[in-house]
Chain A
């Protein structure tokens, strides 16, 4: 559910260390951060290493490894997280194809789902 709403339209921005997008969870509730197993990004077909990705919510920032032991905060229902990507040389202005895959450890499911979205966003 909400697969096609994971990547927030028109959210690609350049940052000092690379770029960022905004993203939501494909889920009918939020989830505690320790249960977010992965947030994978690829840009124009090139996978970004896990250690180069951060997630920010309401002004707090975590690496994906730090999130695994964060028991005091959550990614809320429909909440737009800022996903930061470290990328040497940044990103050229123009259109870029972003692929996003989020993996959630959901207590009642007998599997660990990974849900994907892909969109072409423009860096202005």
Chain B
């Protein structure tokens, strides 16, 4: 039993958006890095999904490429647009039908997991669970900052999952919820957007000092901060350094992991997300699913730098390979 490596093709979004990388490029590149697991956001990778559907030849091409590169289809991230109708939320039954439709799509792709966005109610997922069981697929709700494993909304999901008795319901934690430091790429972008450097320094330090976001926002206002400075301070409302070991209570329902990262430095370190601790926790919890790289630094640097998602993913995978291969430590026992 070991942790396996994969890539969410979300990581290459800059290149695929501009048509610089094809689906084949994405799969080949990931496998070359030793990441044979492939995760997709269905409607990013497959034009037409869900409103207009996806033709069978596109699905055949997917399976051809998966086979050609000896890759493994891992997860289809679905969206469920419950705000499809202006001014009224999609009715419950239609939401359930929409989830079932995405489960069917996932079955066509041959993945074992679908990712549900965290804003979806547990009742919708519980209602779709029997369909997922029939198809041999698990529905995983993404636990993503600002939510975390001790948040009442996630606890409500956990309770509903246990009560349902279905093992087709689970969690997909996004490692961005363990943000230990304020990312330099965020700080640099906010400075380019006009935040005075002394305010940017203050917010960065306040984040490391774990100061409550509301105090930081007030202090920035009192420092004369406006517009982008307030925006920078408000990121503290949506991000926090939760503890990786909180995953341990939920290991029986964690089946995929988003290896979120904002920047991978040349020395193979993500300076703000504690991957050493994260991988150690996952080992301790006997996790044997995939960690799928999810590069999200692109949007923070695209205004000033050429985005090189491939190099970023290469570094992230090299780091994961080292950490997964390293002997287990007892650092967590402390």
Nearest CB in chain A to that of B119: its residue: A108
Q: Which of B223-231, B257-265, B281-289, B296-304 contacts A (4 or more CB under 8 A)?
A: B296-304
Contact between chains at A107 and B47 (CB < 8 Å): no
Assess A72 versus B83: contact at CB under 8 Å? Given A5-B18, A30-B44: no
B51 neighbours in A (Cβ, 8 Å): 32-33, 71-74
Q: What is the number of residues of chain B that contact chain A, defined by CB distance less than 8 Å? A: 29
Residue from A28, A79, A108 in contact with B118 in the complex, judged by beta carbons closer than 8 Å? A108
Smallest Cβ distance from B17 to chain A, in angstroms?
A: 4
Contact between chains at B302 and A107 (CB < 8 Å): no
Complex CA distance for A28 and B295, rounded to whole angstroms: 12
Complex CA distance for A29 and B17, rounded to whole angstroms: 9
A35 within 8 A of B: yes
Assess A32 versus B47: contact at CB under 8 Å? Given A1-B302, A2-B17: no
A4 within 8 A of B: yes
Q: Is the interface of B mostly helix, strand, loop or mixed?
A: loop
Contact between chains at A28 and B85 (CB < 8 Å): no
Within 8 A of A (CB), among B295-326: 298-299, 302-303
Complex CA distance for A37 and B87, rounded to whole angstroms: 11
Within 8 A of B (CB), among A29-53: 29-35, 37
Assess A106 versus B83: contact at CB under 8 Å? Given A4-B303, A24-B17, A76-B47: yes
A105 within 8 A of B: yes
Within 8 A of B (CB), among A95-124: 105-108
Nearest CB in chain B to that of A3: its residue: B303
Residues of B within 8 A of A (CB): 10, 13-14, 16-19, 41, 43-44, 47-48, 51-52, 79-86, 117-119, 298-299, 302-303
